[in-house]
């Protein structure tokens, strides 16, 4: 590994107690790949649109015009964010409107024992379920799950798969998913699509 590494902290805004993750990526990672990593470390399922806001610019996957933003796959994080202590925003799901803040905690992170180029170092609390209805819907959802006598309790338990725990976070599971992502998204010798 001869790239420069960034230590980033991401926090989901508007939720208390905080839902956050601390993770390491190469500074050369493109914003579309950073989106993939955020989806994994946070626990989202990549079911909705997203955008980054860095300074006055917006970066998204498929902007139809310059007014809708810039194509995130064309930009490397290290070219846009350089200074330690700099923050930028990530918005996921324009309906539920999950706002995240990313903070560059270290722009020259080094750990000689780090085995992979992308790793999650820690975090707290589970990500909200997809399509829960944003911040207010998430709070309602958690309150119903805590009250077995609530009329919608069984429906919410079933809807969430029966095992949602807002306090649960496991960096080991996240790192397994990141290792799989690195394996499957690695560069290939030849493209498999013949043009």
**For 41-99, what is each residue's pLDDT tens digit?**
999 999 999 999 999 999 999 888 777 899 999 999 999 999 999 999 999 999 999 99
Domain ranges of the chain: 5-125+169-184, 130-165
**pLDDT confidence band for 1 (50 / 70 / 90):** very low
CATH dotted code for 5-125+169-184: 3.10.290.30
By the 8 A CB rule, do 54 and 8 touch? no
Which pTM does this prediction carry? 0.93
For residue 190, name the pLDDT band (cuts at 50, 70, 90): low
Spatial distance between the Cα atoms of 121 and 135, rounded to a whole number of angstroms: 26
Tokens standing for 122? 């820690």
């Amino acid at each position: 590994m001869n790239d420069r590494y960034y230590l980033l902290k991401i926090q989901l805004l508007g939720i208390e107690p905080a839902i956050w993750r601390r993770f390491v990526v190469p500074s050369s990672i493109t914003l579309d790949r950073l989106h993939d990593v955020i989806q994994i470390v946070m626990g989202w399922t990549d079911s909705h649109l997203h955008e980054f806001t860095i300074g006055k610019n917006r970066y998204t996957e498929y902007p139809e015009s310059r007014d809708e933003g810039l194509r995130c796959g064309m930009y490397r994080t290290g070219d846009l964010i350089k200074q330690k202590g700099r923050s930028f925003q990530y918005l996921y799901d324009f309906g539920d409107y999950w706002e995240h803040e990313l903070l560059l905690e270290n722009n020259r992170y080094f750990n000689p024992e780090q085995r992979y180029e992308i790793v999650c170092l820690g975090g707290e609390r589970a990500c909200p379920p997809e399509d829960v209805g944003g911040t207010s819907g998430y709070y309602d959802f958690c309150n119903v799950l805590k009250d077995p006598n609530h009329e919608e309790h069984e429906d919410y338990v079933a809807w969430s798969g029966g095992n949602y725990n807002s306090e649960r976070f496991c960096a080991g599971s996240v790192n397994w998913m990141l290792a799989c992502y690195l394996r499957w998204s690695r560069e290939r010798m030849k493209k498999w699509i013949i043009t």
